[in-house]
Chain A
Amino acid sequence: MKLIRNILLAITALLIQTTWAQTISVWDIKPDFVKLFIAYIALSEGAVTGTVFAFCMGFCQDIYIPEIFGIHAFVNTLLGFFLGELRYLVSTENIVVIGVILLVSCALGELLFLLLATSFQLDYSMSSFFKYGFFEAVYTSLIAVCAIQAKQYLVNREFLHV
């Protein structure tokens, strides 16, 4: 049951990323719901599930862009695995810790993606990263923090049971 729920959530994250994410972009900076979901699944389920989901989602992102086929899958696999490993090392209850983990992992993921996609053109990758990639990581982690806060609020008000 949990697996089906996670698969449905993964598909939803992918669909939101390719459709609605455009409409909530700020100065052309949009959140990355795929990385957000990978962080969620890896931190809650561990490295094995995190890696498998991350790879599959990366693959789905890659299918439409043959020029960079495999790069999303590669970057997401790394993210899924290392975030899954972090699960036992840090407190995933602390909202600040979650925010920082997401910020760092999204930023590193974006930088690695740019480096691989540009065949390690450092100038291009760095300028692109500091103009957009970093702020996308900030946007994504802010959304994660807001989502956790909202969930906490609903739990406290007994609208939601966990």
Chain B
Amino acid sequence: MGNFREFLFIQRKWIVFVVCLLLSLAMMFMGEESRVSFSRQAASSILSFGQRVFSWAIYLTKLHVDNVYLRSENAKMSLEIQKLRSMKSENDRLRKLAGLGEKIDYPIMLAGVIAWYRNQISNAIVLNRGRKDGVRKNMAVVTSESVVGHVSQVFRSQSTVQLLTDISSRISAVLQNDESVFGIVRWEGQDRSNTLIMENVSLRADVKDGDIVVTSGIGLMYPGNLKIGEVIRVYKDKIGQFKILDIKPYINPENLREVFLILDTEKLSINREDLPVKRTITK
């Protein structure tokens, strides 16, 4: 027994090394298993508190600039709201006349960004809202300007969002001014620039620089007609069968401070008459 203890003590360096390596290899091959869920929850809870404190310092440094900007925006928005209210009542009246029914209003929840995980492979942010706030996996995350991504992991009091600029992110999209131009938007990641690409676009599609790309609404993750970005380059793929569009997304992950979670994604499957693709099909 004494010899065994002595052996363990002498070889502790190698034992620790091999155990850690085996554990990490096991983690790599097990994926998202319930076996690690407890430890992940615990670790995320520890980090969550610290991340809130640290990100608060970032907020404070930008508070004055934000304040000035928000005051001017507030003034502009007040005027805009007046205009929109009159347009809404007009729109409601016209929709009733056309027999289209009520437009979908998505219930949303504001969430603050408390951490960023960025490298050449993954782009994720951590939000200060979690399961206890009603966040669920695959909820769409947006800003007032565009789509941000979707919830990929939910913890008790925080959640992880996989951004559009993540190598495994895919989103079906159409052009805002021509819904027949359809493709899949993804991030290549290699040069870590913010540029997205839209693939499988028909050669006959009339696309030019500056065209706006929006979500198609196909699939239940994202509502239709949410802005993704702007076309900055159009070229053919290697075989010459499809066009590829380079898109400059409206979001910049580094500047994300607050985002909105679309809470009721299931509603999209019920009332889809407003989504652009559906309209295209019924034409």
Q: Tell me the A residues contacting B by CB distance below 8 Å.
A: 11-12, 14-16, 18-23, 25, 28, 30, 46-48, 51-52, 54-55, 58-71, 73-74, 77-78, 81, 84, 113-114, 116-118, 124, 127-128, 131-133
Contact = CB atoms under 8 A, between A and B. Distances in A.
Interface stretch (B14-22, B139-147, B206-214, B220-228): B14-22
Which applies to chain A's interface (DSSP): helix, strand, loop or mixed?
helix
A64 B162 CA distance: 10
Interface in B1-58: 12-13, 16-17, 20-21, 23-32, 36, 39-40, 43-44, 46-47, 50-51, 53-55, 57-58
A-B interface, 10 closest residue pairs, ranked by CB to CB distance from nearest: A70-B27, A70-B28, A73-B24, A74-B24, A18-B115, A55-B20, A19-B54, A128-B120, A77-B20, A117-B121
Contacts of B27: 59, 62, 69-70, 73-74
Contacts of B126: 18, 64
Interface in B130-180: 152-153, 160, 168
Given A15-B50, A63-B44, A73-B27, A114 B16 contact: no
Given A19-B115, A62-B27, A128-B120, 15 more contacts: A12-B50, A15-B53, A15-B54, A18-B116, A18-B117, A19-B57, A20-B54, A20-B58, A60-B47, A63-B40, A64-B44, A64-B126, A70-B29, A71-B24, A81-B20
Given A48-B12, A66-B31, A74 B116 contact: no
B153 A64 contact: yes
B35 to A, nearest CB: 12
A118 B20 CA distance: 22
Contacts of A16: 54
A129 to B, nearest CB: 8
A14 B32 CA distance: 22
A88 B53 CA distance: 38
Given A11-B50, A73-B27, A77-B24, A68 B190 contact: no
From B189, B190, B191, name the one whose CB has the most chain A CB atoms within 10 angstroms: B190
A50 B179 CA distance: 56
Given A18-B126, A73-B27, A77-B17, A128 B190 contact: yes
A70 B24 contact: yes
A65 B247 CA distance: 25
B17 A51 contact: yes
Contacts of A46: 13
A34 to B, nearest CB: 12
Interface of B: 12-13, 16-17, 20-21, 23-32, 36, 39-40, 43-44, 46-47, 50-51, 53-55, 57-58, 114-122, 124, 126, 152-153, 160, 168, 189-193, 254
B196 to A, nearest CB: 16
Contact of A11 (B13, B46, B119, B193): B46
A69 B12 contact: no
A8 B158 CA distance: 22
Contact of A23 (B12, B40, B58): B58
B25 A74 contact: yes
Given A14-B47, A66-B32, A52 B192 contact: no
B43 to A, nearest CB: 5
Given A18-B126, A64-B153, A132 B192 contact: yes
A50 B155 CA distance: 29
Nearest to A65: B122
Contacts of A22: 116, 118, 254
Contacts of B55: 19
Given A18-B116, A60-B47, A68 B17 contact: no
Contact of B190 (A30, A55, A127): A127
Contacts of A64: 44, 115, 117, 124, 126, 153, 160
A30 B16 CA distance: 31
Given A124-B190, A127-B190, A118 B121 contact: yes
A46 B192 CA distance: 35
